[in-house]
Structure 1
């Protein structure tokens, strides 16, 4: 991608920022999505990937950008400068995202790229275009424990001025539990990919495992991608994708998105990246209520989440 193309993406966001608002949610097959996505969903559903394309799927705020950066570095042999060729949103387009013109949609960006492409989505399994499964694309899914995911999403919804206002913390906890947030229920999302992982050859990763032993998980991703990189390159990728390094990387930290869209004075896009931060927000009563609800919703699956390390 040329420098002009890189600049044009940031410029397009700036030009459109005056028309940015907190867009309402509209259900698509029962999943609440922002109205621009809902209106364009037929085109998203019809997207047909190449068999060489890679899909990175997550519930929002579960380690998406982290995984995108790891994959890009793996595919480019740990070349840090090459992986700063464009913002992460251009290097790894967001499949379903649609915004006011002139911001290019995810589909528009993808249509300008040659395969193999790294594609990001937050869509639950049932809304992923069937072409990904028909063409046997590789899919990496990253899941994060519910409480930390909720806390991170709450802060993101405060600073992301395109998503519905999260309101106060006390109410947001219940919105999350009911799935009344963009992309719907966390519970259904993580379960949907979990039960399909073997049949669909999905690499199912856990955010907590990535924090506990990032090298081990980077190597798992490398093997899944049928790559073989030297130990030195792996070490470099682990370092470059540490929270501290990515927070400083303007091509990964979303500083290229202007304040009227992402107001990082409210909360940084890359805020803490910790496991167990939920303890700083949940009251004992909220935690107990959440745990009881969690048991009911997750009783039919055994997904080994960890809410602390």
Structure 2
């Protein structure tokens, strides 16, 4: 048990001003020197923005809708989390080295921390952004169940950490803006979680076009079905129930919790909402990025 305590609930450590898990900070040189391949597809998101959803969609696209192929392994094995390194438990860099091309690569890194080999190789990238209030709520529940994070404290305390960027992977505002600004110079498809909820088929078509891939209508419909929240929530290969309980406690909160829009309304008090909106306007001032917090 002592070993577990060594690994879990430790404070975050800054890497170039961005708070990351202590173990990533310790092994940062491995991450920084990661060798991307020209045919890698990078899936980049701020945490709790639909990462597993977009990963499953893309893996289904890569396997031409072959569901059985996608069920050969858990999503975190099929789409390794590049920078996640925990001594004796995980090493995304090593997992990716063993993978055959073309690889799907997951990251939560803000744009300025991405290994330079991705830019050098002009890799295609898919970024998914989700409105800040829903992210904050989802992240709060995730902090409670995923024990690599420090203790979240109360909702009020966590919201304060979120607004000041003192959470894993830093400030949401900087993250979404950083990737948004890069999209003009590199091959980045920038998607919104809210658009995916509103019309998932339309967004899958965007992905196919971006990947220069053509799939028959029935395959697209199949991908649509198998990547739906209800199906993924029941699928042990996507719902993270295969992760050891010491690492993720699904009894506190399931990994796939609600997957809806506007859950923030059930959590924010009027005072919190007003404070959040004021801060939001200040942080997002001058950006052409705009979000919907309901449809």
Q: TM-score normalised to the size of structure 1?
A: 0.93
Shift in Å at residue 108 of structure 1? 1.1
Per-residue deviation, residues 248-290 of structure 1 (Å, max 9, x unmatched): 1111100011111100000010000001000000011110110
Q: Which residue of 2 aligns with 1:284?
A: 270
Cα deviations across residues 126-174 of structure 1 (Å, max 9, x unaligned)? Answer: 0000110110100000000000000000000000111111100011111
Give the structure 1 partner of residue 279 of structure 2.
293
What are structure 1's unaligned runs of at least 5 residues?
1-15
- Match in the other structure for 2:230: 244
Residue 72 (structure 1) aligns with: 59
**1:42 CA drift (Å):** 1.1
Q: 2:19 aligns with which of 32, 43, 47?
A: 32
**Offset at 1:99?**
1.2
Does residue 120 in structure 1 map to residue 106 in structure 2? Answer: yes
The equivalent of 1:235 in structure 2 is 221
Q: RMSD of the alignment, in Å? A: 1.2
Structure 2 unaligned regions, length at least 5 = none
Q: Deviations over 1:37-78 (max 9, x none)?
A: 001111111111110000000000000000000000001111
Counterpart secondary structure, 2:194? helix
Question: Aligned pairs, how many?
Answer: 294
Task: Identify the residue that residue 130 of structure 1 maps to in structure 2.
Answer: 116
Which residue in the other structure is 1:85 paired with? Answer: 72
Tell me, yes or no, if the aligned pair for 1:150 and 1:176 is still in contact at 8 Å.
Answer: yes
User: Displacement of 1:17 after TM fit?
Assistant: 5.5
User: What is the aligned partner in structure 1 of residue 205 from structure 2?
Assistant: 219
User: Is the contact made by 1:20 and 1:260 (CA closer than 8 Å) also made in structure 2?
Assistant: no
Q: Deviations over 1:65-111 (max 9, x none)?
A: 0000000000111111100111111111000001130x230011011
Q: Structure 1: how far apart are the matches of 2:6 and 2:23?
A: 13
Which of residues 258, 261, 264 in structure 1 aligns to 2:247? 261
